[in-house]
Structure 1
Amino acid sequence: MQCTYYENIDPQYYSSPNGMTLVQARENFIYFGAVDKSSVQFLEANRLELYSKPNESSG
């Protein structure tokens, strides 16, 4: 039986293509705002303004 993405829902499962677990990816996103520290250089400086949801109270 071939293993598929849907069979590996454990956040601690190491993903060879991604080179990390889902837990590691989430921690990196919280800490760096990216998948890893070396990727930060490719982010837009104003990314929070560009991609944040509009404030509902400002109409």
Structure 2
Amino acid sequence: MTKYLWRVEEVAELLGICRSRVFGLITTGELASVKIGKSRRVPDDAVRAYVAALAREVA
């Protein structure tokens, strides 16, 4: 089963950063997210795109 949406806490764990940094990335638009009710979720493809963008910066 593929996971389409990640909780902010899960994204923080995946990226090895703190939860507040993930919210900061969302606020600045560097990481896309969606709101479902009162919950904020990050699409899997947004996490992958963010990591790919970081890799391009290094190259």
TM range (shorter): under 0.3
Q: Which structure ranks higher in relative contact order (CA pairs < 8 Å, sequence separation ≥ 6)? A: 2
Report which of the two has the higher share of strand.
2
Report which of the two has the higher share of helix.
2
Pair member with larger Rg: 1
Using structure 2 for the length normalisation, give the TM-score.
Answer: 0.28
